[in-house]
Amino acid sequence: MTPAYEAVMQPLVETQDYSPPNPPVNEKDFLYSLIRLSLPIPLDTIVKSWAGEKWELVIDQLLQLLDHDVQTITQIGAGSWVPILSALSGPQGKLCRVVRGGSYKGIRSITCNLCMKTFEQNPSERFAHHFITGHFEIHPFKCRHCNALFTRLHSCTRHEKTKHVTSSNAQPRALIPVSSPFTQYTASP
AA letter at 161: K
Integer-rounded Cα Rg, in Å, for the chain is 19
Q: How far apart are CA 137 and CA 129, in angstroms?
A: 10
Whether residue 83 sits in one domain with residue 172: no
Kindly state whether residue 176 falls inside one of the protein's structural domains: yes
Whether residue 161 sits in one domain with residue 100: no
Q: What is the pLDDT of residue 166?
A: 59
Kindly state whether residue 89 falls inside one of the protein's structural domains: yes
DSSP state of 163: H
Q: How far apart are CA 162 and CA 183, in angstroms?
A: 32
Q: What is the pLDDT of residue 183?
A: 41
Whether residue 34 sits in one domain with residue 88: yes
Phi, psi dihedrals of residue 112, rounded to the nearest 5° = -75, 120
Which H or E element spans position 98? strand 96-104
3-class secondary-structure state, position 31: helix
Provide the residue range defining the domain that includes 46: 21-135
Phi, psi dihedrals of residue 111, rounded to the nearest 5° = -115, 125
Whether residue 114 sits in one domain with residue 31: yes
Q: What is the pLDDT of residue 168?
A: 52
Whether residue 150 sits in one domain with residue 128: no
Kindly state whether residue 143 falls inside one of the protein's structural domains: yes
Contact 118, 103 (CB under 8 A): no
N- to C-terminal Cα separation, the chain: 32
Kindly state whether residue 154 falls inside one of the protein's structural domains: yes
Show which of 119, 135, 151 is a domain's final residue. 135
Q: What is the pLDDT of residue 179?
A: 47
Q: How many domains does the chain have?
A: 2
Whether residue 153 sits in one domain with residue 126: no
DSSP state of 134: I
* pLDDT in 10s for each residue of the chain, 189 residues: 555 555 555 555 555 454 555 554 677 788 888 888 888 877 887 787 766 667 888 888 888 888 998 888 888 877 788 888 888 888 888 889 988 887 767 888 999 998 999 999 888 888 888 988 888 887 777 888 888 888 778 888 899 889 887 555 455 555 555 544 444 433 333
Q: How far apart are CA 55 and CA 18, in angstroms?
A: 25
